[in-house]
Structure 1
Amino acid sequence: MLDRPPKGPRDVIRIIRTLHKWLKELSPEGVITYTHYANVIGQAIAYFAGVQRRLATQRNPSHTYPWLARWLDLIWGSIGVYTANVFVSGSVQKSFKAYPDAYLKRSFVVLNGIEPLHSNLTKEEAREKFSLPLDSFGIVNVGRLAEQKNQALLIEVLSILKATGYDDVFLAIAGDGELREQLKLLARRRQVEDSVYFLGELIPSDVPDFLRAGDVFAFPSRFEAFGFALVEAMMMGLPVIASDIDAHREVVRDAGILLSLNAIEEWVEAIKGLIANEEKRIRLADAARLRAGSFSAENMVKGYLSLLFGSGQ
């Protein structure tokens, strides 16, 4: 619709007109939208274009939405602009519990699904690929460098580990974002810059190889709707340590370690425990892999088809 990001109201109007024209011409059987603005704009356009099946998806807790998107979503979901509304996890559903019945009666939980991940590399080969230390214990993380993802906690944890004699430990982060320079500065201030590896955003096909390079996946997010990166790490058989929030409780259950964000020493001790106990790492890895099998793309597709067409076929 545009060959560049929209720069103002004129571009937004052009997008709306173009999308409305396309939907009128194509007459799709249904429209599915992702993210809050896509829901409130895309489904309104689909409604006026005469599309009969209009499925919105709520992919983050309601309180994280901008006020305008939250207000319009409440109205659209209550008056039938959405014919169905998906919460991608039970924790997201919980954040909408105060919404009116007119909204909730069209809303259902369909868990996110992920295609199986595979890497043909050994751990050593994966570390060589990303220029990571071969003989050290590797803490890995995947996520935007943003306040939500909270990688600063991991840098603090690493600095405490180093200060207490755990020299052969590194932290590798795959992702980019607005806090990149701030996190690099924190690593320098804590004198661990030589042990923190900022790999930038990886292409999707490189993520399994990156996860193969780790010994533990640490995920200290402040909030999540679901936690794709967490499930991917579990699929790859990594023991996981994550923040004790609703979404992570739902995903991990007893297949990993959940810790308070206000107890940094617990994070330090959990990692020390995994460094010292290979048997525990193997047990958690097996449990994580088994639990991750619950989040299949096949089940997700069946759920969406059922809401769109009344059948899983």
Structure 2
Amino acid sequence: MSDARDLRRAAAARLREAGVASPERDAELLLAHVLDVGLGRLLLVDDVDADQREHYDALVARRAAREPLQHLVGTAAFRHVELAVGPGVFVPRPETELLAGWAIEQAQLVSALVAGERAPVVVDLCTGSGAIARAVADEVPGAEVHAVELDEQAFAWAERNLAGTGVDLRPGDMATAFDDLTGAVDVVVCNPPYIPLEAWESVAVEARDHDPHLALFSGDDGLDAMRVLERRAALLLRPGGVVGAEHADVQGAAAPGVFAASGRWLDVTDHPDLAGRPRYLTARLAR
């Protein structure tokens, strides 16, 4: 038997030395995973048996090598749902929950305005793990939700996460997706790739080495996908419909500028994340 507190302290020190951003938290989450207990009960555990310690040491070593925590535990929390994640899919980040919350609020507004005459129609482009689409389906049960993903591995994860939700998930490119919904969508939401190719070295190891590059990089200025989104959203949305898209914190002017420059949009607005950094834009299609 080993003392659980000593194991956590040693693991946290190892993770801190490896440059992990949240070593204490990760050490706790990994041990809770190994012991199959909630974090609230972890402090009540005194002893860890030999098999559990071996499993824990192996996971800590992988995390110290900067394998994403979510890959090690197999899940990622996103708003009120839990998503299966692993190699081949972009791990959803907490800041994207704000964009999802905006899409949910917009779908709820549409639902109230149409007063039961039809369902609000929401399209999630570049769905990845299916995080935003799953959250919208979970929190706006009457919504008609569609999602598309180009990468085959990510699509398989989205299939798993969206099974049984009623979401219409399709394989394909956001640039050509949903021709059958032209002019019929109320809300388009997207977390596109937005990292400039030249910023490769600045990307966190967990993302650079483990997230699909298709989900990360988007041309020399990071805005290639944003330009595609602007054109596709204008085609899909009803007049007066809305679009929301995440972007890098250094794109607080450039990303909204893509929409403002086209002349197709009203109310182009940028929104901060919880740390006050520019994080996502919204716009309304002119009538």
- TM-score w.r.t. structure 1 length? 0.32
- If asked which structure has higher relative contact order (CA below 8 Å, sep 6+), I would say 1
Greater strand share, structure number: 2
Q: Which has the larger radius of gyration?
A: 1
